[in-house]
Chains A and B, each alone.
Chain A
Amino acid sequence: MNIEAKPITFAILATVVILIGTIITLFIPMFLPSTQPVSDYIKPYTAIELEGRDIYIREGCNNCHTQTVRPLRTEVIRYGEYSKPEEFAYDRPFLWGSRRTGPDLNRVGGKYPDSWHYKHMNDPRSMFPKSNMPAYGWLAKRKLDTSYSFKKVSILGYGYSEDEVNRQIQEYRKKVTSPTYNAKAIRDQITPPELRNELTEMDAIVAYLQKLGRDVKMLKKKEAVKVAEAADRPGALKNPFEGKADAIKEGKEIFQNNCSACHGDDGKGGIGPDLTDNEWKYGSSDEAIFNSVAKGRPGGMPPWEGSLGKERIWKVIAYIRTLGKR
């Protein structure tokens, strides 16, 4: 058969040929459980988180940030537990990304306090002078449009009633506009007065960022608490670098690169507490401070043990100790 003289036959044959690989690697997997695992511990987005996610999509954040931590040692140290297929069951579209100009965000939820995100989104260079991320302060100047929220969650099949959606919206508004909200100062600073009592696009995107990886972290935390408690023997650890000039110098550099965005250039606080006032919420022993830095603390202090390692944590503590003495 001379198919080079039969265009229609040729086209049909070409279609069949391209469909073979398509069926095997695409259509068949669509119906396999391995591409759509579900687990109870993964919760769908709330209406607000979903609005935040839609803003993330609109602004194309996925063009610079990935959302998959690969099972590689250094990547797990940098970002946290590697990504699992079931985490994405509610993600339409998926947002894994293909370029990592900025860090991965799949485990960013709960890593920092809300105030960190408001400040960072508003002006990344106020915290990291050399960052190349665009400033998104204008999101705080736009009221959040929730008119499609219910329709959206219905299309996505999250199973919330309309009342439930309205409750979620009102509850979140109450949270961020409350006088006791822990990000109130920075939120008020970047939000125009007429919107301070409303939900803004900025509120929604912060809500979304705080959701990323949260369910996985909750699961891990439950498992981890027992182990950690057993390992904490009070008073056992002492800083080997206390008062050593070289180490303090190095500690200062580490501080500037990693801590100053929250605790201020001079350690006098900002998003995180003042470190120069000799007041230590979790105890003033070397060990207590080491644990705060290494393991993190609930109000938004991230754990640094993986990325800095013990030695550099001790050096930075040696430096911090010099701040209080002044």
Chain B
Amino acid sequence: MKENNYDYSVVKGFAYSAVFWLIVGLVVGLWLAAEMFYPALNLTPWLAFGRLRVVHTNGLAFGFGFAGIFACSYYMLQRLTRTSLAFPGLARFHLYLFNVAIALAALSLFAGMNTSKEYAELEWPLDVVVVIMWVIFAVNVFATLIKRKEKQMYISLWYIIAMTVTVAVLYIVNNLEIPVNLFKSYSAYAGANDANVQWWYGHNAVGFVFTVPILAMFYYFYPKSTNLPIYSHRLSIISFWSLVFAYLWTGAHHLMLTPLPEWIQTVAIAFSIFLIAPSWGSVVNGYYTIRGRWDLMRTNYLTKFFIVGITFYGLQTVQGPTQGLRTLTAFFHYTDWVVGHVHMGTMGWVTMIISASLYYIIPKISGRELYSVRLANLHFWLIFIGQLVYTVTMWIAGIQQGAMWKATNPDGSLTYNFLETVTALYPYWYIRFVGGVIYFVGILVFTYNLIMTGRSGKESVPEPQPQTA
């Protein structure tokens, strides 16, 4: 099989789209973070916090996250099947449609066309575009798999398949709505039911966007960059099936102590706790893979991205189930603690793995060496430190906020009125902003490094094609 039979143009297109939307999303994130302590920044209706926050979450989850996922999926799919894409033209159309859809999404959200359901805010015409786009992607995935030259499907392909089918189910069910006109619709579900559907979707967006495809990347690019085989195939099988089984039961841990029927909440907690096992299956697999070769953390610049990324994934999947427990959710729910949780996952796990995967891919497909390993190291440290500053600050803020909401005087009355619990957080919000800036600079370094690699990196010695992918 010759290298040039693979279609890498879409991989490259999606990789650069990912970086582009990442930067857009982060600028919006920094603006938001500043609005929290400097409300004068709510300059216009479309810059007001309520609209902007949605641009941030959608821009990063869908713009950055999905572009990265598509880039890596199209790459892995071809390498792991040793086949070129079944429909390269369709994939290129996918790339254009994707970027147009994300741009329209951002504009419509700025304009306030918004269903209010978290991570499903897009109004119905854009939902239709998203579904069409997903079908286009799925057609390529399955058609390529069917014509594959490599009989066995590697772990990463299982995760890609799971994402492909599940995201379709999630997206369609949660976005069922009745249109009023082109720009406005109402949910097909009401009240507690709507909440249940939404958070089944919301949690599994985390599961099948921020976990499953990222694990696909981890299982492929990590052994590739270290040249070490994954420790246990059997562990991979067990964790895969138990992960995809258990995730769907847990959405209600976002709705603890709300009017949702209690048994749904209890089932969700039980399965959330269970989820620690398959999540840590991958963590353990990752750690054991590198056993005896920890020197790679120093000598191979990509290794630390993967190891630190999987470590944050491990922490995230312990923190998540724990904060869902009734007594803890009573304290932490609605506070900045959860914002800390979110950003450990997205900045610490998702970005680490996507960055490393793109560092692996771009030199490979452009036939050049990485422009600068030193810049890659700098990028690593900046996003690592920026993320820690951000998340640790938010956890402390969350503890303080929870404690202040709960504080009572000896006579049973409240110690703080609501505003006092807000202004007490300003110092944390300043620090979070600083953490965000550090992280953002790291991402600028990353972007520069990738662009320079494509442009002026040294030509790399073509390596002999391995027998399997």
Q: Are B114 and A58 in contact (CB under 8 A)?
A: yes
Number of chain B residues close to chain A: CB under 8 A:
95
B19 within 8 A of partner (CB): no
Chain B residues 115 to 157 lying within 8 A of chain A, measured CB to CB, are 115-118, 142, 145-146, 148, 151-153, 157
Q: Which one, A5, A30, A75, A151, contacts B189 given CB within 8 A?
A: A30
**Given A17-B241, A98-B334, does the pair A10, B187 have CB atoms closer than 8 Å?**
no
Chain A residues within an 8 Å CB radius of B238:
none
Q: Are B245 and A88 in contact (CB under 8 A)?
A: no
Rounded to whole angstroms, the CA-CA distance of A306 and B415 in the bound complex is: 11
Chain A residues within an 8 Å CB radius of B117:
93
A230 within 8 A of partner (CB): no
Q: Are A8 and B257 in contact (CB under 8 A)?
A: no
Q: Are A5 and B152 in contact (CB under 8 A)?
A: yes
B287 CB to nearest A CB, Å = 24
Q: Which one, A7, A63, A125, contacts B49 given CB within 8 A?
A: A63
- Type the 1/0 row for A115-135, where 1 means its CB is closer than 8 Å to any CB of B: 000000000110010111111
Q: Of all chain A residues, which has the CB nearest B414?
A: A307
Rounded to whole angstroms, the CA-CA distance of A121 and B244 in the bound complex is: 45
Q: Are B50 and A64 in contact (CB under 8 A)?
A: yes
Rounded to whole angstroms, the CA-CA distance of A21 and B422 in the bound complex is: 38
A95 within 8 A of partner (CB): yes
A186 CB to nearest B CB, Å = 21
User: Helix, strand, loop or mixed for chain A's interface?
Assistant: helix
Q: Are B145 and A7 in contact (CB under 8 A)?
A: yes
B103 within 8 A of partner (CB): no
Chain B residues 157 to 184 lying within 8 A of chain A, measured CB to CB, are 157-158, 161-162, 164-166, 169, 173, 178, 180-181, 184
Rounded to whole angstroms, the CA-CA distance of A292 and B186 in the bound complex is: 42
B60 within 8 A of partner (CB): no
Q: Which one, B157, B158, B248, B418, contacts A25 given CB within 8 A?
A: B248
Q: Are A155 and B249 in contact (CB under 8 A)?
A: no
Rounded to whole angstroms, the CA-CA distance of A132 and B48 in the bound complex is: 11
Q: Which one, A18, A21, A100, contacts B335 given CB within 8 A?
A: A100
Q: Which one, A71, A90, A103, A138, contacts B418 given CB within 8 A?
A: A103
Chain B residues within an 8 Å CB radius of A87:
191, 259
Chain A residues within an 8 Å CB radius of B189:
30, 92-93
Q: Are A131 and B251 in contact (CB under 8 A)?
A: no
**Given A29-B193, A60-B54, does the pair A17, B257 have CB atoms closer than 8 Å?**
no
Chain A residues within an 8 Å CB radius of B165:
11, 14-15, 18
Q: Of all chain A residues, which has the CB nearest B241?
A: A17
Q: Are A100 and B259 in contact (CB under 8 A)?
A: no
**Given A74-B406, A132-B39, does the pair A68, B414 have CB atoms closer than 8 Å?**
no
A74 CB to nearest B CB, Å = 5
Q: Are B260 and A70 in contact (CB under 8 A)?
A: no
Stretch of B5-13, B83-91, B196-204, B382-390 contacting A (4+ beta carbons < 8 Å): B196-204
Q: Of all chain A residues, which has the CB nearest B158?
A: A10
B235 within 8 A of partner (CB): no
A20 within 8 A of partner (CB): yes
A97 CB to nearest B CB, Å = 8
Q: Are A94 and B169 in contact (CB under 8 A)?
A: no
A85 within 8 A of partner (CB): yes
B36 within 8 A of partner (CB): yes
Q: Are A7 and B161 in contact (CB under 8 A)?
A: yes
**Given A5-B153, A125-B39, A130-B423, does the pair A94, B192 have CB atoms closer than 8 Å?**
yes
Chain A residues 19 to 37 lying within 8 A of chain B, measured CB to CB, are 19-22, 24-26, 29-30, 32, 34-36
A194 within 8 A of partner (CB): no
Q: Are A35 and B260 in contact (CB under 8 A)?
A: yes
Q: Which one, B158, B258, B412, B420, contacts A68 given CB within 8 A?
A: B258
- Type the 1/0 row for A146-165, where 1 means its CB is closer than 8 Å to any CB of B: 00100110011000000000
Rounded to whole angstroms, the CA-CA distance of A308 and B408 in the bound complex is: 10
Q: Are A77 and B186 in contact (CB under 8 A)?
A: no
Q: Are A132 and B37 in contact (CB under 8 A)?
A: yes
Q: A22-B169, A71-B257 are in contact. List 12 more A-B contacts (CB 8 A).
A: A4-B153, A5-B152, A8-B146, A14-B165, A18-B244, A64-B49, A91-B190, A134-B49, A134-B50, A148-B180, A308-B413, A309-B414
Top 3 nearest A-B pairs by Cβ distance? Answer: A309-B413, A60-B50, A88-B191
Q: List 5 A-B contacts (CB under 8 A).
A: A5-B153, A58-B113, A91-B194, A130-B419, A309-B411
